């Protein structure tokens, strides 16, 4: 049995953060496609004054990437929560005091996502 402590929570939060950074680069090519192209596509886009690793020149492309990653996060976190409620029925009666490995990792991984 695995002991539940703070290091387990930190490790699962860091691993889920790294996992979603990896997912971000996998999903990034999908953001080039648009279902409904805008009339503004032919205009030039001015570069931001300060560019960082997280800076996107195209704001709409960043919004599509953010929406896809947010949807994927909600799908995974929601699936883990539903699994926790189905696998541990006593969780419905005592939500605060019921702590086990699956529910703890679900909370910490959702925080890291």
Cα separation, 15 vs 19, whole angstroms: 6
What residue has token string 């560019």?
Answer: 51
Q: For the segment 23-40, what is each residue's pLDDT rounded down to a tens digit?
A: 888 888 887 776 666 655
Question: Is a pLDDT exceeding 80 seen at residue 66?
Answer: yes
pTM for the full model?
0.69
Instruction: Specify if 85 maps to a domain.
Output: yes
pLDDT for 34 equals 67
What's phi and psi for 112, nearest 5 deg?
Answer: -75, -20
Instruction: Specify if 98 maps to a domain.
Output: yes
Instruction: Specify if 41 maps to a domain.
Output: no
DSSP 36: S
Whether the Cβ atoms of residue 102 and residue 87 lie closer than 8 Å to each other: yes
Instruction: Specify if 101 maps to a domain.
Output: yes
Domain count along the chain:
1
Instruction: Specify if 38 maps to a domain.
Output: no
Cα separation, 15 vs 113, whole angstroms: 9
Q: Containing domain of residue 91, as a range? A: 1-31+70-113
pLDDT for 43 equals 54
Q: For the segment 36-59, what is each residue's pLDDT rounded down to a tens digit?
A: 666 555 555 555 566 666 666 677
């Amino acid at each position: 049995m695995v002991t539940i402590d703070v290091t387990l929570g930190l490790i699962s939060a860091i691993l889920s953060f790294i996992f979603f950074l990896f997912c971000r680069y996998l999903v990034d090519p999908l953001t080039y496609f648009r279902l409904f192209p805008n009339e503004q596509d032919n205009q030039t886009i001015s570069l931001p004054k300060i560019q960082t690793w997280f800076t996107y020149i195209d704001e709409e492309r960043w919004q599509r990437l953010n929406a896809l990653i947010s949807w994927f996060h909600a799908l995974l976190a929601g699936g883990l929560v539903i699994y926790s409620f189905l696998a541990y029925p006593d969780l419905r009666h005592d939500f605060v005091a019921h702590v086990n490995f699956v529910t703890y990792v679900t909370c910490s991984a959702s925080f890291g996502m």
